[in-house]
Chains A and B, each alone.
Chain A
Amino acid sequence: MKQNYLIAFNSILNKEITRFTRIWVQTLVPPAITMSLYFVIFGNLIGSRVGQMDGFSYMAFIVPGLIMMSVITNSYSNVASSFYSAKFQGNIEELLVSPVPTYIIIAGYVGGGVARGVLVGFIVTCVSLFFVPLQIHSVLVIVTTLLLTSILFALAGLLNAIFAKSFDDISIIPTFILTPLTYLGGVFYSTSLLPPVWETISHANPIIYMVSAFRNGFLGIENIPLFYSFAVIIGFIAVLYTLVYRLISKGVGLRS
C-alpha cells in the first residue's frame, strides 16, 4: 500500500471513530442497556425455566448470539448512517475530490464499522459477565468470526447508504430485513430444534452461519461446520465488496 493511501485510510478511520465516540450516548450505551434486558429477561427469568440447550445453560447458550446480534446491528448502522449523512450533508465531496482510491474509501468506512462493532461486542461481553461466567473455547475462532461478521455487515450498511435517498431508507433494511434475520438466526435457539424443513430453509439465512461459528468459539458447539460457516461469510464479503466497489467507482448515488 502506498504511504499516501495509508495516511488517507487512517484519516477516514480516525474520522469515523471520532464520530461514533463523540456521540457515545447514542452509539455505545443503548446496546449495553438492550442486551442487559435480554440477559435479565431471556437469560435469567425465562432461561431458568427453559433448562439446558445443546448441553449448556440457556443463559450461556444465548450469550454468543446476543454479542453477535450487537456486532451485526452496530457495524451495519454505523456505516449506513455515517456514509448517508456524509452524502446528505455534502461532505462526501471531501473524499470524492481528493485522490483517494475507491478501495481506501471502502476500507476506511468499513474500518469504522468494524471498530464500533468490535467495541460494542466487547461492551456486551463485559455486561454478560454480570450474569454468566465467560467460557472461551477458541480465541482465534471468536476473533475471526467477529472481524468477518463486522466487515460483512459494514459492507452491507455501505451498500444501503449508497442507494439511500432519505434517512428513512437507512432504517427500512435494519427494521424489515436485518432484525428478523437476526432473530431467526439461531440467537435464542438451536436450529437442531427446528423441524427438518425449517432447519433446511434457515440455512438460507446468512446470520445462522455467523452465530454458529461464534458459538463454536465460545462454547465449542456448532449447528454448521466451522469451515462451511467461514466460507459462506467470506463469500458474502466478496460479493458485497465487488458490488460496493463498482457502485462507488461509477459514482452511483454520489456523482451526477
Chain B
Amino acid sequence: MTLALEITGLQKTYSGGVQAVKDINLTVAKGDFYALLGPNGAGKSTTIGVMSSLVNKTAGQVKIFGYDIDTDLEAAKSHIGLVPQEFNFNPFEKIENIIVNQAGYYGVPRKEALVRCEALLKQLELWDKRHEAARNLSGGMKRRLMIARALVHNPQLLILDEPTAGVDIELRRTMWEFLQRKNEQGITIILTTHYLEEAEMLCRNIGIIDKGLLIENTSMKTLLSKLNSESYLLDVNSQLIKPELDGYSCRLLDDHTLEVDVAKGRGLNSLFAQLAAMNIQVQGIRNKENRLEALFMDIVEQGRGKQA
C-alpha cells in the first residue's frame, strides 16, 4: 500500500513549554479521504503545521509520499496543497495574481499557470472575480480562493484545515461535491472540521486527536458500528400522550414530537407498526443529533479518562 502520509513519534513542544503534540503515529493511504478530528487545542493544526513545514517539530518523523521532510523537504512540499484555517493571502492582491504566483513558486510556468487558474476559478465559480482584490470577496469566496490556490500545482495530497468554517450550507455542499470529485480523481485528502456530518459524509477513515495524542484511528464504518443506539425525532400529526412502545424507550418533547431511542440492530419497522396500531401518523423522522457527534464525545471522554 502506498502511503500518502506517514507520521512516526511526532512531538511538538512550543517555546513557552506547551506540549501541543505528545506522540502521534499516523498513516494515511494514497487516495484516502481522511478526517482528522479533535476538540479545539487538541493538536490538529500543529500536526498539519508540521506536515506542511510551517511548524518545526520537536521530535519524530514525517514522510509525504515517502519523502522525509527532514531529508527531502522540497520533494515532500511539492506533493502537498494546504488550505489553512485562517485567510492567509494578501488581501490587496488580485485573485488571478495570487493563484498564478503560487503556481510559480512550485515551478509552473506562467502560461500553464494561467490555464490552470482559469480552470480552477471556473470550477469554483470565481472566474468573474479574477481581477478583483481578494479583500473584496465574501467569506465563502475567500475559502474557495484558498482551495484554488492549494490545487494550482496539482498536489497529490490536499490538506484542508476547517475549510467550511463560516460557510453557508448551500456553499458547503457545493464544496463537498468539489472535494469528492477531486478525491475521485486520485487526490488524497486530509480534512479537519468541527462539522461532524461533514466528516461522516466525505471521509472513509478517521483519526481523533485529543491533548496531543491520537486516541482513535479507524475506518468511518468501523467507528459508526460502535454506536449502541441512535435517537430519532418523530413528527406526528395528532396530539400525543406518551405512548407505551415495546422494545423502545421514548420521551414526549411536545404535543407533536416524540423522541425514540432505537437500540443497535433493533430496526424501525416494529416502531412504525406499533405507532400505526395506536393511530399515530408519522409525518417526518430525523436523527436527533449527528451520530458521529455522539461517538466523538464518547471517545474523547473515554480517552481523557484513560489519560487521567
**Which A residues form the contact surface with B (CB < 8 A)?**
2-5, 7-8, 10-12, 14-15, 18-19, 22, 85-86, 89-91, 93-101, 251, 255-256
Question: Mind listing 30 A-B residue pairs with CB under 8 Å?
Answer: A3-B107, A4-B106, A7-B104, A7-B108, A10-B104, A11-B110, A15-B101, A18-B97, A85-B90, A89-B89, A89-B91, A90-B84, A90-B86, A90-B87, A91-B89, A91-B93, A93-B82, A93-B88, A94-B89, A94-B149, A95-B105, A98-B78, A98-B153, A99-B74, A99-B78, A99-B105, A101-B74, A251-B56, A255-B54, A256-B49
> Which chain B residue has the least Cβ–Cβ distance from A104?
B105
B75 in contact (CB, < 8 A): yes
* Interchain residue pairs A-B with the least CB separation, the first 3: A11-B104, A4-B107, A90-B88
> Which chain A residue has the least Cβ–Cβ distance from B78?
A99
Q: Are B109 and A256 in contact (CB under 8 A)?
A: no
How far does the alpha carbon of A256 sit from the alpha carbon of B14 in the complex, in Å? Answer: 7
How far does the alpha carbon of A255 sit from the alpha carbon of B58 in the complex, in Å? Answer: 13
How far does the alpha carbon of A14 sit from the alpha carbon of B53 in the complex, in Å? Answer: 25
> Which chain B residue has the least Cβ–Cβ distance from A91?
B90
**Which B residues form the contact surface with A (CB < 8 A)?**
14-15, 49, 52-56, 73-75, 77-78, 80, 82, 84, 86-93, 97-98, 100-110, 149, 153
Nearest chain A CB to B224 CB, angstrom units: 33
Nearest chain B CB to A253 CB, angstrom units: 12
How far does the alpha carbon of A7 sit from the alpha carbon of B15 in the complex, in Å? Answer: 36
How far does the alpha carbon of A256 sit from the alpha carbon of B56 in the complex, in Å? Answer: 6
Q: Are A98 and B106 in contact (CB under 8 A)?
A: yes
Q: Which residues of A contact B55 (CB under 8 A)?
A: 255-256
Q: Which residues of B contact A15 (CB under 8 A)?
A: 93, 97, 101
How far does the alpha carbon of A10 sit from the alpha carbon of B108 in the complex, in Å? Answer: 11
Known: A8-B104, A98-B77, A99-B105. 14 other contacts (CB 8 A): A7-B108, A11-B100, A11-B101, A18-B97, A86-B90, A93-B84, A94-B101, A94-B102, A94-B105, A95-B105, A98-B105, A98-B106, A255-B53, A256-B56
Q: Which residues of B contact A18 (CB under 8 A)?
A: 93, 97
Nearest chain B CB to A58 CB, angstrom units: 42
How far does the alpha carbon of A98 sit from the alpha carbon of B14 in the complex, in Å? Answer: 23
How far does the alpha carbon of A222 sit from the alpha carbon of B92 in the complex, in Å? Answer: 44
Nearest chain B CB to A168 CB, angstrom units: 21
- A97/B82 contact (C-beta < 8 A), A251-B56, A255-B54 known: yes
